[in-house]
Chain A
Amino acid sequence: MLQLKEISKIYGEGETRVKALDKISLDVETGSFVAVMGPSGSGKSTFLNIIGGLDRPTGGEVMLDGQRIDDLDENKLVDVRRGKIAYVFQQYHLLPSLTALENVLLPLVFCGAGKEDEGRADEILNKVGLGKRAGHKPGQLSGGEQQRVAIARALVGRPTLILADEPTGNMDRKTGNEIMKLFVQLHKEGHGIIMVTHDPEIAGYAGTTVFLEDGRIVRKTNKKASRTRKNVNKN
């Protein structure tokens, strides 16, 4: 479903040049659950932003379902964001003026969805366990609850791929594990998930874990096969 071909991202110029990503190649199959791990500054977030078209690579190609998306113009990228890809952020990024339900509805506001779709928002909010708090604003919700709203918002557009950037980064372990159980459930239901984290326990929920260091993939582990392939990038 997702193919990355020698993706590079370079910030700055001349002396201050920083290579955030250095010719990364990766194939992600439809419906897989991938964790991206690495120390701070290893390029995890940049990697995720480029996959989702929030940022553009300085080199390489990003193919989504056979369509090259890294060189799309803004208007076409909007279509990608509305259909195939959805985000879950560490900071939740909910609009503070809207209730939980309204935040879930927000993507539908922009793609001009009808009433039936709006009915689904309630359903999804129930599914993430927040049906009773639909009328609360983000400020009245705990971190875990806000993240559930954010996940519900990601689901409302029926994405094939959910990109999550440290989704449990702001939570205690118990809450984090509950959120992860939700992700596992979504994975079972067929959503592809790519999740950035620095927490090995959280990464353990994923089927595949990719390790990034200095902008390169240094290791890739597959849970089911329990197989480790070192330095894929150098092959």
Chain B
Amino acid sequence: MKLYQVVLKDVIRRKRRVLYATLGVIIGTATVVGILTVANAGQARIYNQLEKYGPNLAVIPAINSMDMKLGDVKLGMLAVGENYVSEEKLPQIRQIADGEIRKALKIDDEGNIATIAPNLFVDTKIKDTSVVVVGIDPAEEMKIKTWWKVGQGKYLEGSDQALAGSVAAELLNLKVGDVVGLDGTNVTVTGILEETGSNDDYQVFVPLATLQKASGREGLVSSVDIRALCNACPVEIIADGINKEIPGVRAVAVKQIAASEMGMMDKISKFMLTLGGITLAVGLFGVVNTMMTSVNERIKDIGIMRAVGASRSQIVKAFIYEAIIIGIIGGILGYILGTLLAYIAGPLIFEGTTVVYVPLYLGLALGLAIIVAVVATVYPAYRATQIKVADSFRSL
């Protein structure tokens, strides 16, 4: 028989008492797990919302500037490289982006994952007014610009159609159904976008193929916007991969959005952790209290153990074992209770959030609960060793 078995048997006999002592740990752990689970769900939701704010990768033609010199005479700068990205490179870009995402998420999905939207910018004239016409892949573009709303008419459905930004429509006096000439090709205005507050308001959008044909830039695009659909998508790695594998293009991770996402989450996490820490501290005092009661209840048992040869450190050990048992029970129950709380409170805090339980937090809950229970037991256990054996019997 070992000391821990003696403790375990005693705990089983006093199960109600022990469960009561565990309450403090359960409440503390449940709060922390609940907060973290809700925060986790909120984080996922924030990421989802942030993802709506456009692409997180842009692929543009690689253009290098070169100083032109003749002897000591500077002749200015010369841009070296292509002005366009060949459309033939799109499948390769997709392969790299999807491949890296699959690696990061450990999935084997065969379908397309990332949204890849090519753009062709052409500065041209409509009704004798200079305007930037953008060739787009209508389906992919809509996935990136989720905030686009068609105010009048319909979204692009086929070739030889045009979608006008709100300001462009006003300046060019465009209405749904108008047919306008575009470098010799007639396109029909099918819809006008609501104001977006971005450059899009000043532009006219037509299907990529239509613009390529009209402007004589077949097979060419100006840039490619990529949006990876997940929180953990390895944007930087995708950019590196594209830069290494595909010559003539430059992939840039859009860091601004990532940085703001991180900043926001950082603040939320800090706040949540502070809250969790306070709860744990309160729980700690609760456990100290119940453990003190436990010591007082068991003065006689401690006296018996001392009388038959237990040393002070063995008494402390016995209490630490009990604390570990309390920690394990408290950790498991705290995790379950905290997760349940999160399921109830989550949707109230972050509207429309789906809370998902996090198995990883079970480990965290166990660790926290055991640490709290053991720390809370140190002082009561010390008190227990200070009891004089003779006194422990006399008081009865």
- Whether the pair A110, B305 counts as a contact (CB closer than 8 A) is yes
Closest to B307 in A: A87
Q: How many A-B residue pairs have CB under 8 A?
A: 79
Whether A97 contacts B396 in the complex (CB less than 8 A), given A106-B308, A110-B308, comes out as no
Which residues from 299 to 320 on chain B have a C-beta closer than 8 Å to any C-beta of chain A? Answer: 300-301, 303-312, 314
> Chain B residues with Cβ under 8 A from A118's Cβ?
1
Q: Does B9 contact A (CB under 8 A)?
A: yes
- Whether the pair A55, B393 counts as a contact (CB closer than 8 A) is no
Closest to A105 in B: B1
- Whether the pair A111, B9 counts as a contact (CB closer than 8 A) is no
Closest to B14 in A: A97
Per the bound structure, the CA–CA distance linking A96 and B312 in Å amounts to 21
> Chain B residues with Cβ under 8 A from A46's Cβ?
390
- Whether the pair A74, B396 counts as a contact (CB closer than 8 A) is no
Whether A87 contacts B308 in the complex (CB less than 8 A), given A93-B303, A93-B393, A95-B301, comes out as yes
Query: Among A63-71, A75-83, A214-222, A227-235, which stretch is in contact with chain B?
Result: A75-83
- Whether the pair A81, B305 counts as a contact (CB closer than 8 A) is no
Q: Does A44 contact B (CB under 8 A)?
A: no
How many residues from B make CB contacts under 8 Å with A? 28
Closest to A101 in B: B1
- Whether the pair B304, A97 counts as a contact (CB closer than 8 A) is no
* Complex partner residue of A95 from B6, B390, B396, CB under 8 angstroms: B6
> Chain A residues with Cβ under 8 A from B301's Cβ?
95
Closest to B1 in A: A105
- Whether the pair A93, B300 counts as a contact (CB closer than 8 A) is yes
Closest to A96 in B: B13
Per-residue A-contact encoding for B1-43, CB less than 8 Å = 1, 0 else: 1110010011011100000000000000000000000000000
Interface SS of chain B: helix
Distance of A185 from chain B, by nearest CB (Å): 22
- Whether the pair B303, A82 counts as a contact (CB closer than 8 A) is no
Q: Which of B10, B13, B300, B393: most chain A Cβ within 10 A?
A: B393
Which residues from 266 to 318 on chain B have a C-beta closer than 8 Å to any C-beta of chain A? Answer: 300-301, 303-312, 314
Per-residue B-contact encoding for A204-220, CB less than 8 Å = 1, 0 else: 00000000000000000
Per-residue B-contact encoding for A79-115, CB less than 8 Å = 1, 0 else: 0011000110101011111100010011111110000
Per the bound structure, the CA–CA distance linking A19 and B95 in Å amounts to 95
Per the bound structure, the CA–CA distance linking A96 and B311 in Å amounts to 20
Q: Does B103 contact A (CB under 8 A)?
A: no
> Chain A residues with Cβ under 8 A from B12's Cβ?
97
* Complex partner residue of B6 from A74, A75, A98, A111, CB under 8 angstroms: A98
- Whether the pair A106, B6 counts as a contact (CB closer than 8 A) is yes
Whether A74 contacts B308 in the complex (CB less than 8 A), given A93-B300, A109-B1, comes out as no
- Whether the pair B304, A93 counts as a contact (CB closer than 8 A) is yes
- Whether the pair B305, A102 counts as a contact (CB closer than 8 A) is no
Per the bound structure, the CA–CA distance linking A157 and B309 in Å amounts to 10
- Whether the pair B309, A82 counts as a contact (CB closer than 8 A) is yes
- Whether the pair B1, A107 counts as a contact (CB closer than 8 A) is no
Q: Does A54 contact B (CB under 8 A)?
A: yes
> Chain A residues with Cβ under 8 A from B306's Cβ?
81
Whether A110 contacts B310 in the complex (CB less than 8 A), given A91-B396, A105-B1, comes out as yes
> Chain B residues with Cβ under 8 A from A74's Cβ?
311-312
> Chain A residues with Cβ under 8 A from B142's Cβ?
none
Q: Does B244 contact A (CB under 8 A)?
A: no
Whether A75 contacts B312 in the complex (CB less than 8 A), given A54-B390, A95-B301, A118-B1, comes out as yes
Per the bound structure, the CA–CA distance linking A91 and B305 in Å amounts to 14
- Whether the pair A110, B307 counts as a contact (CB closer than 8 A) is no
Q: Which of B13, B300, B308: most chain A Cβ within 10 A?
A: B308
Q: Does B52 contact A (CB under 8 A)?
A: no
> Chain A residues with Cβ under 8 A from B307's Cβ?
54, 81, 87, 89, 93
- Whether the pair B9, A98 counts as a contact (CB closer than 8 A) is yes
Q: Does A49 contact B (CB under 8 A)?
A: yes
Per the bound structure, the CA–CA distance linking A98 and B8 in Å amounts to 10
Per the bound structure, the CA–CA distance linking A96 and B10 in Å amounts to 8
- Whether the pair B312, A106 counts as a contact (CB closer than 8 A) is no
Per the bound structure, the CA–CA distance linking A81 and B14 in Å amounts to 28
Per the bound structure, the CA–CA distance linking A208 and B17 in Å amounts to 47
- Whether the pair B1, A97 counts as a contact (CB closer than 8 A) is no
Q: Does A153 contact B (CB under 8 A)?
A: yes
In the A-B complex, the 9 residue pairs with the smallest Cβ-Cβ separation, listed nearest first, are: A97-B13, A55-B390, A82-B309, A110-B309, A97-B10, A49-B390, A107-B308, A54-B390, A54-B389
Q: Contacts A54-B389, A81-B309, A96-B13 given; 18 further ones with Cβ under 8 A?
A: A54-B307, A55-B388, A78-B309, A78-B311, A87-B307, A89-B307, A93-B300, A97-B10, A98-B10, A102-B9, A106-B1, A106-B6, A107-B308, A109-B3, A110-B305, A110-B314, A111-B309, A157-B309
B residues touching A (Cβ–Cβ < 8 Å)? Answer: 1-3, 6, 9-10, 12-14, 300-301, 303-312, 314, 388-390, 393-394, 396
29 contacts between A and B (CB under 8 A): A49-B390, A54-B307, A54-B388, A54-B390, A55-B389, A74-B311, A74-B312, A75-B311, A78-B309, A78-B310, A81-B308, A86-B308, A89-B393, A93-B307, A94-B304, A95-B301, A96-B13, A97-B9, A97-B14, A98-B9, A105-B1, A106-B1, A108-B1, A109-B6, A110-B305, A110-B314, A111-B309, A153-B308, A157-B308
